[in-house]
């Protein structure tokens, strides 16, 4: 393991009194991260923050939608004496050089990257304990990585309670019936580990052949099964005005791991900020970088880490 770390990791831990850029070297390119450590803490706890799906960067931002939610989370943790490491996933933001051909990418690549970041933090011997926090899709990535990685606690924030296949099925119900009917056999085939070569043109963007290997690797994980495997302290946090993930998802995760703590935050949406349930007003907050995080969120997370 130490040899692997020497080969794949570069740890420029300079002054720990401010945010530092650190690099995870992989065979396909560099993954970039930001380490933020409170200056007054000799050996703080550190939270590894995993962002959500798609082109979401280390700060919680998407192209043309800047909310800075994960950067704010890191800053709030620092105020409470807790360090954090957040990173751009492979192929995203400053980690674009580590991107892979779509046909070569697997869900496990993201999981293994998290394990490597944990190894980096562990080998540095600069932190009292390591906590993994996954937001949105990062919740599933984090809970799988935390099963065998040397971390003390796991936090799921706005994490889905159903498999990706079931989520897509539910989303497709909003489409015309013929779209759903043609999609269901393809989803089932992917869940069985088989590819579908004859994809209807209207479904090509979703089920194109090059993305199917990734979908097969993703579909095989059920969050309820994966969170049940964790034998360490678990915190599940969900907001009531989240229009992407519901309180029901948190209920399912908590039911799967009866030792987990569940905290429901009134008025918090998917990007961890105060929002109404009205869809348009809710989405408008996704582009409000100065809107602060829900205060209760920070209080809950800090308390869990310090327990």
Each residue's pLDDT expressed in tens, for the chain with a length of 307 residues: 444 443 444 444 434 447 999 999 999 999 999 999 998 767 899 999 999 998 999 999 999 899 999 999 999 999 999 999 999 999 999 998 898 899 999 999 999 999 999 999 999 999 999 999 999 999 999 999 999 899 999 999 999 999 999 999 999 999 999 999 999 999 999 999 999 999 999 999 999 999 999 999 999 999 999 999 999 999 999 999 999 999 999 999 999 999 999 999 999 999 999 999 999 999 999 999 999 999 999 999 999 999 9
Position 133 scores a pLDDT of: 99
Query: Cα 243 from chain centroid?
Result: 17
DSSP track, 174-199 = TS-HHHHHHHHHHHHHHHTT---S--
Q: Which of 82, 26, 86, 25 is nearest to 50 (CA)?
A: 86
Position 1 scores a pLDDT of: 45
Position 16 scores a pLDDT of: 43
Position 39 scores a pLDDT of: 85
- Residues shown for the chain: 307
Position 11 scores a pLDDT of: 42
CA angle, 26 then 18 then 289, to 5°: 85
Tell me if 87 sits within 8 A of 31, measured CB to CB: yes
Position 41 scores a pLDDT of: 61
What are the sequence ranges of the domains in the chain?
A: 2-162+222-306, 165-216
Centre a 10 Å sphere on the Cβ of residue 70 and count the other Cβ atoms it contains: 28
Is the sign of the CA dihedral 190, 53, 147, 223 positive or negative? negative
Position 68 scores a pLDDT of: 98
Q: Which of 228, 240, 51 is nearest to 147 (CA)?
A: 228
Tokens of 220: 């095989």
Identify the architecture of domain 2-162+222-306 in CATH.
3-Layer(aba) Sandwich (3.40)
DSSP track, the chain = -HHHHHHHEE-----TTS-EEEEEEETTEEEEEEEE--TT-SS--EEEEE--STT--TTS-BTTB---HHHHHHHHHHHTT-EEEEEPPTTSGGGGGG---GGG--HHHHHHHHHHHHHHHHHHT--S-EEEEEETHHHHHHHHHTTTSS-SEEEEES--SS-HHHHHHHHHTTS-HHHHHHHHHHHHHHHTT---S---GGGHHHH-GGGHHHHHHHHT--HHHHHHT--S-EEEEEETT-SSS-HHHHHHHHHH-TT-EEEEETTB-TTSBB--S-HHHHHHGGG-TTSPBPHHHHHHHHHHHH-
Tell me if 67 sits within 8 A of 272, measured CB to CB: no
Q: Which of 114, 108, 112, 110 is nearest to 91 (CA)?
A: 110
Query: Cα 216 from chain centroid?
Result: 19
CA distances from 131 to 77, 235, 241 (A): 12, 11, 26
């Amino acid at each position: 393991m130490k040899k692997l770390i020497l080969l794949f990791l570069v740890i420029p831990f300079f002054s720990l009194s401010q945010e530092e850029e650190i690099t995870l070297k992989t065979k396909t390119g560099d993954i970039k991260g930001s380490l933020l450590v409170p200056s007054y803490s000799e050996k703080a706890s550190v939270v590894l923050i995993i962002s959500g799906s798609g082109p979401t960067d280390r700060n919680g931002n998407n192209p043309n939608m800047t909310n800075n939610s994960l950067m704010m989370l890191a800053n709030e943790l620092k105020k409470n004496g807790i360090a954090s490491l957040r990173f751009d996933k492979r192929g995203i933001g400053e980690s674009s050089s580590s991107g892979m051909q779509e046909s070569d990418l697997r869900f496990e690549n993201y999981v293994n990257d998290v394990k490597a970041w944990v190894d980096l933090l562990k080998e540095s011997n600069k932190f009292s304990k390591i906590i993994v926090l996954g937001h949105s899709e990062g919740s599933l990535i984090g809970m799988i990585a935390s099963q065998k990685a040397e971390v003390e606690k796991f936090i799921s924030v706005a994490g889905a309670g159903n498999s990706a296949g079931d989520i897509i099925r539910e989303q497709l119900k909003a489409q015309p019936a013929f779209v759903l009917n043609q999609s269901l056999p393809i989803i089932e085939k992917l869940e069985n580990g088989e590819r579908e070569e004859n994809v209807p043109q209207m479904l090509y963007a979703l089920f194109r052949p090059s993305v199917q290997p990734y979908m097969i690797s993703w579909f095989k994980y059920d969050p309820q099964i994966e969170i049940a495997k964790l034998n360490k302290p678990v915190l599940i946090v969900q907001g009531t005005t989240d229009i992407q993930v519901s309180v029901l998802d948190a209920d399912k995760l908590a039911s799967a791991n009866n030792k987990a703590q569940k905290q429901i935050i009134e008025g918090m949406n998917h990007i961890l900020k105060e929002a109404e349930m009205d869809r348009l007003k809710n989405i408008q907050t996704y582009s409000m970088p100065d809107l602060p995080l829900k205060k209760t969120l920070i209080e809950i997370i800090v308390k869990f880490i310090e327990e």
